[in-house]
């Protein structure tokens, strides 16, 4: 089991490409790496292209300046090419990163790894897809990626890692009545819109009209009128996440459906760990993968389809003591099981050490072969 303990060995110096906002998964992974004694040089793509511009003029401006921003970001990454102290580059997802930039580091013999948190690739642009063959290892949070022959043909090596929670972000919080009144609801969902998620939430709204439903996240402006009335009009960030998870009676764990380039959808998601770690009650889509981490009916509740979702929501709203008990047990399991990003951080670094050993053995074997040839 991975821990946050710092070993006696010197830590690695990692060139880390991700995001750093409070509550982001990229930040959570960076925190776990630092807790294990490693040092990070961070280049954050969001510093080079504002992601939250929402007005029409700013969206147009962002589209016009995007090529310049992408070029500037890649230039900023390449400024670290001549740093011989870097042990490896770790890319979280790889937004805005160009293949030529990775190839430049590859030519310097710097190992390059990708940590990928999403279902598919095509919707993020050709650069992200074209970078896949350059990575020395592709660390995926999706077990079904390991069985995808097309993806396996694109990457050099692939390893499974898990999402987790951030000890500093996903925690029990003390909130006042005004805060609780604003965020509290019967049912909440924090996450981006998709047709499948809308169908599930719509079933609850239609069949349980007296329930207060609150939605947080991007894209819900694409939903029908009934869903838009439930939408906060924005995402939830930072400590809002823990507050929402804690004061909502029921937090929905809705999973992303299959992408255009993937046959399977999510089986678990960041919410699988982050909601119970915050002390929230989680009603999650039933999957075999979920059962590896949380026990149904004891540490998490599950549903199978829209009709069952309505049934489970009605049941748990009517049984608050059972709901509170499951939330407490789920939080205890997350903490006791150390379901943070420490395990993923440890996997990446252990892989790097193993790769170094293989390189040393291969070099020694080649030297021995050369010596024998010269002797002969």
Tens of pLDDT, residue by residue over 242-297, are 999 999 999 999 998 887 788 788 999 999 999 999 999 999 999 999 999 999 99
Q: Give Cβ neighbours of residue 350 (< 8 Å, ≥ 6 apart).
A: none
- Give the pair of three-digit tokens for residue 80: 């670290």
Res. 327: pLDDT tops 80? yes
Q: What does the alpha-carbon distance between residue 294 and residue 111 come to, in Å, rounded to a whole number?
A: 35
Mean pLDDT rounded to a whole number for the chain: 92
Q: What does DSSP assign to residue 77?
A: H
* Strands in the chain per DSSP E: 13-18, 39-44, 88-92, 112-116, 137-140, 158-160, 185-190, 213-216, 248-253, 282-285, 301-303
Nearby residues of 343 by Cβ (< 8 Å), 6 or more positions away: 1, 2, 161, 162, 164
Residues of the chain with pLDDT > 90: what percent?
84
Confidence of residue 195 (pLDDT cuts 50, 70, 90): very high
**Hey, what CATH topology would domain 13-163+341-366 get?**
Rossmann fold (3.40.50)
Q: Is 83 left (phi over 0), alpha (psi -120 to 50) or beta?
A: beta
Which tokens in the block code for residue 366?
A: 């080649």
pLDDT of 108 above 70 = yes
Each residue of 111-120: pLDDT tens digit?
999 999 999 8
How would CATH label the architecture of 177-336?
Answer: 3-Layer(aba) Sandwich (3.40)
Q: Please name which of 50, 56, 53, 18 lies closest in space to residue 34, comparing C-alpha atoms.
A: 18
What mean pLDDT is predicted for residues 145-163?
Answer: 94
Q: Is the pLDDT of residue 361 over 80?
A: no
Residue 143 clears pLDDT 80, i.e. is over it: yes
- 99: tokens are 């293949």
Residue 320's pLDDT band (cuts 50, 70, 90)? very high
The pLDDT-based confidence of 363 (bands split at 50, 70, 90) is very low
**Owner of token pair 């380039």:** 261
Return the percent helix, strand and coil in the chain, to nearest 5: 50, 15, 35
Give yes or no for residue 366 having a pLDDT over 90. no
pLDDT recorded at residue 7: 60
pLDDT band at 39 (very low <50, low <70, confident <90, very high): very high
Question: Nearest Cα to 26, choosing from 122, 87, 93, 80?
Answer: 93
Q: What pLDDT sits at residue 376?
A: 45
**Distance (Å, whole) CA 214 – CA 208:** 14
> Is 358 in a helix, a strand, or coil?
helix
Are the CB atoms for 258 and 265 separated by under 8 Å? yes
Which two structure tokens, joined as six digits, stand for 357? 């050993």
Split at pLDDT 50, 70, 90, the class of 370 is low
Strands in 137-140's sheet, in edge-to-edge order, are: 39-44, 13-18, 88-92, 112-116, 137-140, 158-160
What's residue 114's pLDDT? 98
Q: Which two tokens stand for residue 166?
A: 């951030």
Q: What is the pLDDT averaged over residues 178-185?
A: 96
Sorted by where each begins, the domain ranges of the chain are 13-163+341-366, 177-336
What pLDDT shows up at residue 257? 87
The H or E element containing residue 350 is helix 342-375
Neighbours of 174 (CB within 10 A): 6
**Per-residue pLDDT for 85 more than 50?**
yes
pLDDT at 364 over 60: no
Is residue 2 pLDDT above 70, yes or no? Answer: no
| % of the chain at pLDDT higher than 70 | 93
């Amino acid at each position: 089991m991975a821990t946050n303990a710092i070993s006696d060995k010197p830590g690695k110096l990692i060139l880390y490409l991700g995001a750093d906002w409070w509550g982001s998964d990229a930040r959570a992974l960076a925190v776990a790496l630092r807790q294990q004694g490693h040092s990070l040089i961070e280049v954050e793509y969001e510093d080079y292209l504002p992601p939250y511009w929402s007005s029409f003029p700013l969206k147009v401006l962002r589209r016009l300046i995007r090529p310049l921003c992408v070029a500037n970001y890649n230039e900023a990454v390449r400024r670290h090419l001549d740093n011989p102290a870097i042990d490896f580059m770790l890319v979280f997802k790889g937004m805005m990163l160009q293949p030529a930039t990775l190839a430049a580091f590859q030519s310097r013999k710097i190992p390059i790894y990708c940590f990928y948190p999403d279902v598919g690739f095509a919707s993020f642009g050709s650069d992200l897809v074209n970078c896949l063959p350059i990575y020395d290892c592709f660390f995926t949070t999706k077990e079904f990626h390991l069985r995808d022959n097309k993806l396996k043909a694109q990457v050099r090596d692939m390893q499974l890692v898990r999402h987790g929670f951030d000890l500093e972000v996903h925690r029990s919080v003390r909130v006042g009545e005004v805060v609780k009144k604003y965020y509290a609801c019967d049912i909440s969902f924090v996450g981006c819109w998709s047709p499948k998620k809308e169908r599930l939430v719509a079933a609850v709204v239609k069949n349980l009209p007296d329930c207060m439903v609150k939605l947080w996240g991007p894209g819900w402006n694409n939903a029908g009128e009934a869903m838009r009335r439930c939408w906060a009009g924005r995402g939830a960030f930072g400590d809002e996440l823990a507050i929402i998870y804690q004061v909502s009676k029921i937090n929905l764990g809705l999973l992303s459906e299959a992408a255009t380039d993937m046959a399977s959808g999510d089986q678990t998601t960041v919410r699988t760990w982050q909601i119970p770690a915050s002390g929230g009650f989680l009603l999650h889509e039933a999957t075999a993968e979920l059962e590896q981490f949380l026990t149904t009916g004891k540490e998490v509740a599950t549903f199978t389809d829209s009709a069952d979702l309505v049934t489970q929501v009605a049941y748990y709203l009517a049984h608050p003591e059972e709901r509170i008990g499951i939330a407490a047990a789920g939080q205890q399991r997350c903490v006791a099981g150390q379901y943070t990003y420490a395990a993923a951080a440890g996997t990446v670094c252990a892989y790097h050490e193993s790769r170094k050993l293989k390189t040393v053995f291969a070099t020694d074997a080649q030297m021995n072969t050369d010596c024998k040839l010269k002797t002969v």
